[in-house]
Amino acid sequence: MKEKILLNEILLETTMSALRKKNFDVVCADTPQDALRILTETIPQDSSIGVGGSRTLDQISFFDTFNVQHYPNYIDRYEAGISAETKREREISMLSADVFVSSCNGISQTGELVLIDGNGNRCGGMTFGPKKRIVVAGVNKIAADLSAAMSMAQNRASVMNNLRFDTKNPCTITGRCMNCASTNRICNVTTILHRAAPAGSILVVLVKEDLGF
């Protein structure tokens, strides 16, 4: 629809401008394939690479390209058969990787990124440690301001993830976050990236299509 395309262009332009003023590097990808191309051109082959769980990365076929076969220092926390201890050790090593790649759950048109996480590994990797941090996000993640981005992250992304993992948490009944005390609550850490620090350490790849939730 013409209006949706026009709206997306406006959202992308205003958000990219706001993010750049806050020291984020930003590029726009036309398609998921284009986003993957940008990542392969940005991340050197010998980099150690950590990754946060992300439906968006699944959708751009990130894991078909970024794996130990193609990138020998890729840190694989999803390897079949590894113990919980090994998985935890790999998650910790991601916090000092050369590159950490993730999506986020909300982006404000005023230039902030919001992430919600179960145990903090993704929020940790995106805030401190890895020299380069890269966020891939679809245009659907853009909200008007920080408050709207926070609400989007909590009431849409978190609820969708609960439905995806069939957690039976209260939000899977109500369709919105109930700030529950469930033992299997999957959203325990919320991070706001107000600015990129140091400048240029975070690259945001904004895709002109809906990706993730």
The binding site for ligand SF4 (CB under 6 A) comprises 158-159, 162, 169-171, 177-180, 182, 185-187
Query: Cβ of residue 166: shortest distance to ligand SF4, in angstroms?
Result: 12
Which whole-number Å values give the CA distances from 167 to 65, 82, 164, 213, in the listed order? 30, 23, 8, 17
Contact 114, 107 (CB under 8 A): yes
Q: Which DSSP state fits 27?
A: E
For residue 193, what are the β-bridge partners? 113
CB of 54 to ligand SF4, least distance (A): 17
Shortest CA distance to 98 belongs to which of 122, 70, 125, 78? Answer: 125
Q: Which is nearer to ligand SF4, 1 or 181 (CB)?
A: 181
| Cβ closest to ligand SF4, residue 47 vs residue 162 | 162
Write down the least CB distance from residue 181 to ligand SF4, Å. 8
**Cβ-based nearer residue to ligand SF4, 177 or 203:** 177
| Closest to ligand SF4 by CB, 48 or 105 | 105
Number of H helices and E strands in the chain, helices first, is 9, 9
Least gap, CB of 86 to ligand SF4 (angstroms): 27
* Burial tier of 99 (Cβ tally within 10 Å: 0-12, 13-18, 19+): buried
The minimum distance between CB 169 and ligand SF4, in angstroms, equals 4
Dist. CA 125–CA 171, nearest whole Å = 27
Q: Which is nearer to ligand SF4, 173 or 199 (CB)?
A: 173
